[in-house]
Structure 1
Amino acid sequence: MLNDFATLRVRAGLSLEDAAQLTGYSVRQLQRWEAGVGKPREAAVRVLCSIAGTEPAPLDSRFNFIDLFAGIGGIRKGFDAIGGHCVFTSEWNKFAQETYAANFRDNHPPHGDITQIATDEIPDHDVLLAGFPCQPFSIAGVSKKNSLGRQHGFLDETQGTLFFDVARIIRAKRPAAFLLENVKNLTGHDKGRTFQVILKTLTEELGYTVWHKVIDAQHFVPQHRERIVIVGFREDVPFSWDDLKLPEKGSVRLASILHPENGSERAEAPYTLGPDAKVNGKYTLTDKLWQYLQGYAAKHKAAGNGFGFGLVTPDDVARTLSARYYKDGSEILVSQGSRINPRRLTPRECARLMGYGDDFRIPVSDTQAYKQFGNSVAVPVFEAVANIMQPHIQSLLYPARQQKAA
């Protein structure tokens, strides 16, 4: 069964290749939209509507939002798609700022450390987005801090308390809604006490109605990646997670994000080269590194531990891509057959694995790109959540219109 975008293309009498040329998006991107991955860009829809002689649906009223701990803009993309207008961005990492600025043409540059920005310097806004740092609450982060004898969670003076910067902005600006994101382990950190502090702050101290849910990105992309999503509204609204329609897990496999290497996509140096767009040989593991990873895995297997590399094929679903992927790529190694060492994903494949379209620019080094995508959210998850938040955002901002529609 065709979805709305595919139906529109067929009605316009266009092949995928013709539609890609006319809209300026890649064939792969159009295929993703037709498969229900992500929301088609308004510009592309308008082009097809014009050719098909159909009027596009009227745009929803715009709303303003801010993007805190923005990374490379993964959460933002979902709210851009539902009519949001970003009026303020905060991201402290200069390389992430570079990638963000290359992909979002705002009239404001990304601001730095949010702890150094006074509340009155932040514009009023309708929705607050924040993927506040997860290291104090992640399993890996807690283990590292324990080994170093450092505090974690809210006792970590550098990162754990950043949630309270989110809280101070919500308290001062009173947005209609917010969306916060963190690792799944947040709910169990410190025997659940950390999460209870967060919920108490949002509900009892700030007066918001709050819902939370752990969502696995595997519903949308070929990667097991569980993250907690916290949604809050200033007033009582009939928000429900039941409205979130999740595709079946495993319905998308790695073949959908790997370079086909058969000439069906244009080469993108330095990731792919030549007329067939073959993956650059630099992504293949050296003999020394491959031998080390095999020995490391054998050692831990003998000790009864589960540590080791993750070897995948196009038919598989990957482990969670992490920010440490640049070191050895061990969690996701692509098999190249028995006679060739496996390879890392290219940064473009990492972008696809996180749900970014091929139009997403990667202006930084491979090392920085791997860190950025490993730290990113899976875009389709937040596009889906933004879609079910949209009517409730609108009902708070435009109650008269909602009453008229009823």
Structure 2
Amino acid sequence: MAHQFDTNPRYAEFFAGGGMVSAALRDNWSCALANDVDPMKCATFRANWPDGNLIEGDIRDLPISALYQPIDLYWASSPCQDFSLAGAGAGLQGKRSSVVTPWLDLVESAVHTGFSPKIIAFENVVGMLSRDKGTALWEVLRRIIRCGYRVGALNINAQLFVPQSRPRIFVIAVRNDIEVSPDMLSGSPVLPWHDKPIMRFVERGSARLRQNWLWWNLPLPTKSVPELSGFIEAAPTSAWFSQSQTRAILQMMDDKNLEKVHAANKAGKVMVGTLYKRGRPGIDGTTRQRAEVRFDGIAGCLRTPAGGSSRQTLVFVDGQKVRMRLLDAREALSLMGLPRDYIAPQRYNDAYKVAGDGVVVPVVEHLDRHLFRPLVVPHFAAVAA
């Protein structure tokens, strides 16, 4: 693709998946490099951005020469399974999340060769803050600081932008020689961006971490969050459950969740809820599968479909009538902030996987508007104001 060096800053998207970061940045940035190992996700990326300079393959095999070019922003949304509180907790040694180490090796090599991006962004689950006392996250930050960067982190829940509860940790590192406007920073933690886990993580950190720490300060989004009902497809591809299937799921609810359904029965309007099946310990010590529902207008966090229990179910209550079906693939993609013209895989599980493994587009757009472009584009903040 033809890079617009004189007008657009340039980014690299590592662990690119279906290209949610590209969906957020493409209007104002040029993609210098993208990389992912999953063939299905790479095909999805190419379908949407055929000029995206995508290199398909393992990050361990990515030639370092690909980074020897002017790039302003590195973005990495690495696999999260080994950092998640619901996972096995293997951290940087885990089968999936161990790919963070070769990515950091590439970053260090590029920096030492004279190709230092102005910004390094790293996104992952909030479990990184507490899992094994934050050891894996500290290692990531230690190596980024060693490359000549100041670091900060924000806990951003996507429900500030879309009706999906999806808290994620966003590490934003800026090169030491880049001027940071005082209005981008706070002298102390700021809610909702810096919660207690972040504060505890910094308090426990080394003197070097605290010396190089930045309390990023973002404005809250000004747009109201769209209603969940607005994301429901009129002609979904997901089939409705049979009455017996619906009854079986209702029987999996405890009293607390059944009471939510009974309250929806009395609402006097159609209520739309979302439901997950989860393993919960029983009084006899065994794990039982429970159905947990919410009618607060917020979908649960989308996850990769590793089985029926991980796929989100929609619950429609109209008086005493209760209907259920799986979340449609297009509904899942919309909850990630992707536009309707986004080209998704045809297979349901593939499309759901692209969504569940991605980053919410409006969150990246917010970071771009208030951090990325003001840091890399001269006078952007003044023009935007």
Q: TM-score, normalised by structure 2?
A: 0.72
Task: Describe the superposition over 1:192-236 as per-residue Cα deviations: whole angstroms up to 9, x where unpaired.
Answer: 222222211111x21111111110000000011100111111134
2:126 paired with 1:184: yes
SS at match of 1:334: strand
Name the structure 2 match of 1:73: 19
**8 Å CA contact retained: 2:39, 2:56:** no
- Give the CA deviation at 1:121: 3.4
- Label 1:247 to 1:288 Cα distance change in 2 as closer, same or farther (>3 A): farther
The structure where helix makes up a greater share of residues is 1
SS at match of 1:319: coil
- 1:312-391 matched pairs, under 5 angstroms: 316-324=297-305, 327-328=308-309, 331-335=312-316, 337=318, 338-388=320-370, 389-391=372-374
Name the structure 2 match of 1:34: none
- Give the CA deviation at 1:330: 5.5
Name the structure 2 match of 1:202: 144
Distance 1:252 1:355 in 2: 11
- 1:204-219 matched pairs, under 5 angstroms: 205-219=146-160
Distance 1:68 1:253 in 2: 32
- Label 1:114 to 1:301 Cα distance change in 2 as closer, same or farther (>3 A): closer
Amino acid at match of 1:198: V
Task: Describe the superposition over 1:116-159 as per-residue Cα deviations: whole angstroms up to 9, x where unpaired.
Answer: 112123452221111011111012222xx6xxxxxx11222x33
Distance 1:387 1:252 in 2: 20
- Label 1:225 to 1:332 Cα distance change in 2 as closer, same or farther (>3 A): farther
Distance 1:130 1:329 in 2: 24
- Give the CA deviation at 1:66: 1.1
Name the structure 1 match of 2:172: 231
2:97 paired with 1:160: yes
2:203 paired with 1:257: no
- Label 1:68 to 1:154 Cα distance change in 2 as closer, same or farther (>3 A): same
Gaps of 5+ in 1: 1-58, 146-151, 262-271, 273-278
- Label 1:331 to 1:365 Cα distance change in 2 as closer, same or farther (>3 A): closer
Q: TM-score, normalised by structure 1?
A: 0.68
**8 Å CA contact retained: 1:326, 1:370:** no
Amino acid at match of 2:100: F
SS at match of 2:165: coil
Q: Identify the range of structure 1 (71-80 vs 323-332) with the bigger mean alpha-carbon deviation.
A: 323-332
SS at match of 2:353: helix
**8 Å CA contact retained: 2:303, 2:311:** no
Distance 1:134 1:349 in 2: 23
- Label 1:118 to 1:110 Cα distance change in 2 as closer, same or farther (>3 A): closer
Give the superposed CA RMSD: 3.0
- Label 1:196 to 1:306 Cα distance change in 2 as closer, same or farther (>3 A): farther
Distance 2:280 2:75 in 1: 40
Distance 1:154 1:325 in 2: 22
**8 Å CA contact retained: 2:164, 2:299:** yes
Task: Describe the superposition over 1:37-70 as per-residue Cα deviations: whole angstroms up to 9, x where unpaired.
Answer: xxxxxxxxxxxxxxxxxxxxxx992122111100
Amino acid at match of 1:63: P
Task: Describe the superposition over 1:158-181 as per-residue Cα deviations: whole angstroms up to 9, x where unpaired.
Answer: 333322222222221311112111
SS at match of 1:308: strand
2:141 paired with 1:141: no
Amino acid at match of 1:138: S
- Give the CA deviation at 1:325: 7.2
2:45 paired with 1:100: yes
- Label 1:169 to 1:244 Cα distance change in 2 as closer, same or farther (>3 A): farther
**8 Å CA contact retained: 1:178, 1:232:** yes
